[in-house]
Amino acid sequence: MFLLDQFPQEWDLADSPEYRRKQVAEWVFAKRVTSFDHMSNLPESLREGLKSRYQLQTLELSQRQGSHDTTQKFLWKLPKGDYVESVLIPANVDLFGDRAARTTLCISTQVGCAYGCKFCASGMDGWKRNLSPAEIVGQIIEAERLASKRIQNLVFMGMGEPLANYENLMRGIEIINSPWGLNIGARHITVSTSGLVPQIRLLAAQPRQIRLAISLHGATDEVRGKIMPVNRKYPLEDLLGACDEYVRVKGKMITFEFILIRGINDSLDQARALAKLARRLHAKVNLIPYNKVEGLEWERPEEEVVADFSKQLKRSDVTSTVRHEKGHDIDAACGQLRLKKIMEQ
């Protein structure tokens, strides 16, 4: 259940006492009603007024895939006919170097992506639009309903570049984090970015203790520039400068995400260069062997190559984790399920 563009904290309650706003928020976010008629402790006149000005609506589940490892992928059909994906990751899975007993939801912030990372399925059909705050929050609410469990950890690294939709992202996080909203702690929310320097600085300046992950995938400008066009606008030294500021202001550790692609960024030279960057920021490294995407040329390295890369980081005193992608049997790489749906139409 979600609201199209406005949340109860912003609604016009027709001069009703302020406590009514708290009641409305409880109905929407705690009790998850889908009709104003169910808000039984509100006066009928207020319910009718809300009904005439606002809408309650559910995300439409288009497809659901379940993996043998209990990962679940949801394909949502949005009111405008677009599709986005969310992935529910079981507890006790290593994420960003932590083995946490929490259920994690990876959610999308855009329909498609404009940043064109060469290895990613999300941008293969181009960028369509930003998701609204309500569409961002709605993924969480509907995933909880379908899975019959509480989401305890959020990762903004689904379809799209979260920081390219900064304003809507932050409005959504306000709802997610607020006691009157979904009440998920900021320390359990991670925003992943391909490296938008100005927005990283904005994120550093805002008060919530949100965690930051950088989709690095190349430890030198030469390698990163081959697979991530964003590096031409924000090369590594600019990106690291923004990360320095984030660490200084927040006092929080950053995670480097590093997808290992055979013959591209899996050499020991890249491991040594990555270790140097990680030591500069005291960052953790999350190594992710590439998850094959149909239609793209890239391949996963051999297991011994991944192991040697990881050992080199550890010899360099860098904290690192190898995270094997979950849900290989359910199109787990971001954007794959959406692309299949589009091609079927």
CATH of the domain at 25: 1.10.150
Reply yes or no on whether the pLDDT at 42 is more than 80: yes
Which contiguous run of DSSP H or E holds residue 303? helix 303-315
Reply yes or no on whether the pLDDT at 76 is more than 90: yes
Task: Work out the mean pLDDT of the chain and round it to a whole number.
Answer: 88
| CA pseudo-torsion sign 280, 281, 282, 286 | negative
Do 189 and 211 share a domain, yes or no? yes
Do 22 and 159 share a domain, yes or no? no
Do 166 and 301 share a domain, yes or no? yes
pLDDT bracket for residue 68 (50, 70, 90): confident
Do 22 and 67 share a domain, yes or no? no
Do 154 and 230 share a domain, yes or no? yes
Percent of the chain with pLDDT over 70: 88
pLDDT in tens, 169-200: 999 999 999 998 999 999 999 999 999 999 99
Do 49 and 64 share a domain, yes or no? no
What 3 state SS string does 101-132 have? CCCEEECCCEEECCCCCCCCCCCCCCEEEECC
Structural domain count of the chain = 2
Do 15 and 123 share a domain, yes or no? no
Among 16, 37, 53, residue at a domain's last position: 53
User: Best-predicted range by mean pLDDT among 63-77, 118-132, 252-266?
Assistant: 252-266
Reply yes or no on whether the pLDDT at 327 is more than 80: no
pLDDT in tens, 251-280: 999 999 999 999 999 999 999 999 999 999
Do 48 and 109 share a domain, yes or no? no
Among 53, 70, 96, residue at a domain's last position: 53
Do 96 and 169 share a domain, yes or no? yes
pLDDT bracket for residue 229 (50, 70, 90): very high
Do 17 and 99 share a domain, yes or no? no
| CB 215, CB 178: distance < 8 Å | no
CATH code: domain of residue 337: 3.20.20.70
| CB 122, CB 131: distance < 8 Å | no
| CB 297, CB 331: distance < 8 Å | no
Do 217 and 243 share a domain, yes or no? yes
Query: Whole-angstrom Cα distance, residue 278 to residue 282?
Result: 6
| CA pseudo-torsion sign 168, 172, 174, 180 | positive
Q: At a CB cut-off of 8 Å and minimum separation 6, what does 65 contact?
A: 72, 73, 327, 330, 331, 337
Q: Measured in Å, how far apart are the chain's first and last C-alpha atoms? A: 26
Q: Which residues are catalytic?
A: 85, 334
Mean pLDDT across 214-228: 97
The neighbour count for residue 205, using CB atoms within 10 Å, is: 11
Domain that holds residue 41: 2-53
Reply yes or no on whether the pLDDT at 97 is more than 50: no
pLDDT in tens, 306-326: 999 999 999 999 999 998 655
DSSP reduced 3-state for 30: helix
| CB 316, CB 279: distance < 8 Å | yes
DSSP reduced 3-state for 287: strand
| CB 161, CB 110: distance < 8 Å | yes
Do 254 and 319 share a domain, yes or no? yes
Reply yes or no on whether the pLDDT at 96 is more than 70: no
